[in-house]
Amino acid sequence: MFSVLFDNWGTLISGLGYTVWCSILALIGSCVIGTVFALMEISAHKVVRIIGRVYVEVVRNIPLLVITMFFYVVIPKYVVAIDGFTAGTIGLTIYTSAFIAETVRAGIESVPVGQMEGARSNGLTYLQAMTHIIFPQAIKIIIPPLGNQFINLIKNSSVLAFVSGFDLMYQGKLVASANLQTFDTYLAVGLLYLVITMPLSYFMRYLEKRWQTA
């Protein structure tokens, strides 16, 4: 296994780089989009609420691969030329955003309604109440499930392999088909995924502890 790792170091590390880059972009993108749809889902306006609900239900109930293929095949054909990495990253972002929306919504809804009423009666705007009162309380509840979503996101980034996204899985596939050492190669690939996911996992636990005491 180690010989596979050393013989193909450059290739696998470049794959790791694409995986990390895709994960960072998708993580930021899905958090922003997910939060927007979470706020839409709890909006006072019925139409906005329905739009949020439909987005979440549709997106999270379609396989990631299908969403990714849509961006890989349909968008270049009818809209604009994008490469596999871009299509895969967009697909992963959209897919994950639906799960993050649900996580954030549940976190916000776990804060007693009296907190919002107290803040609004105190003269705060909806946005001020959200940023100063509701979100700081919701984040404690959101962090653990959000950690799960982040780890899933990194692992799901292997979908890039199906759309020629040059990620770790893609490079692993190339290496394995060249050296025919399938077992050792995928073992090395798995190890490299752990190198990203394990520290993240510990970091989320650290955040969880820090926010509980804060």
Interface positions with other proteins (CB under 8 A): 114-115, 117-125, 128, 132-133, 136-137
Q: Which is nearer to other proteins, 45 or 77 (by Cβ)?
A: 45
CB 116, min distance to other proteins, A: 9
CA angle (46 as vertex; 40, 48 as ends), nearest 5:
35
Question: What is the C-alpha to C-alpha distance for residues 173 and 189, in angstroms, rounded to an integer?
Answer: 9
CB 88, min distance to other proteins, A: 39
Q: Which is nearer to other proteins, 184 or 208 (by Cβ)?
A: 208
Q: Which is nearer to other proteins, 132 or 182 (by Cβ)?
A: 132
Question: What is the C-alpha to C-alpha distance for residues 82 and 101, in angstroms, rounded to an integer?
Answer: 26
Q: Which is nearer to other proteins, 125 or 148 (by Cβ)?
A: 125
Encoded amino acid at 204, one letter? M
Q: Which is nearer to other proteins, 61 or 213 (by Cβ)?
A: 213
CB 201, min distance to other proteins, A: 26
Buried/exposed code over 108-122 (b: 16+ C-beta within 10 A; e: otherwise): beebeeeebeebeee
CB 133, min distance to other proteins, A: 5
CB 128, min distance to other proteins, A: 5
